[in-house]
Amino acid sequence: MRVDPLCDPLDPESALGAKIFFEPGARTRWHRKPARTLIVISGFGRMRRAGGPIEEIAAGTVVRIPSGQKIWFGAAGSRAVTYIVLHGEAG
């Protein structure tokens, strides 16, 4: 996994966001974080919310994750995925 910040995390006026890249087959562990929005910009991935089915995500998919929801996400077995993550509540 590679994380490229999209803004200055030390600037309080700046939104918190990053571009995230997962190699084929790579994924996060189960985790919880503050609210965020994922915007898939290329590739093909998968995610799962606690208690739910595995969901497929591809370019153009927008996922809103509420604060504290347990989740994992990453690339599909043979394909990479890249997405933008924005932290905080989105409209």
pLDDT value at 77 more than 70: yes
Amino acid at 24: P
pLDDT value at 89 more than 70: no
pLDDT value at 91 more than 60: no
Q: What is the predicted pLDDT for the residue at 56? A: 96
pLDDT value at 90 more than 60: no
Averaged over 20-45, what is the pLDDT? 94
Domains of the chain: 2-9+19-87 (2.60.120.10)
Q: What is the predicted pLDDT for the residue at 75? A: 96
Averaged over 63-91, what is the pLDDT? 88
Residues 6 or more apart whose Cβ sits within 8 Å of residue 14: 7, 8
As to burial, measured by CB atoms within 10 angstroms (0-12 exposed, 13-18 middle, 19+ buried), residue 40 is buried
Let me know: does 29 contact 53? Beta carbons within 8 Å.
Answer: no
* Helix H or strand E segment including 20: strand 17-22
pTM, 2 dp? 0.81
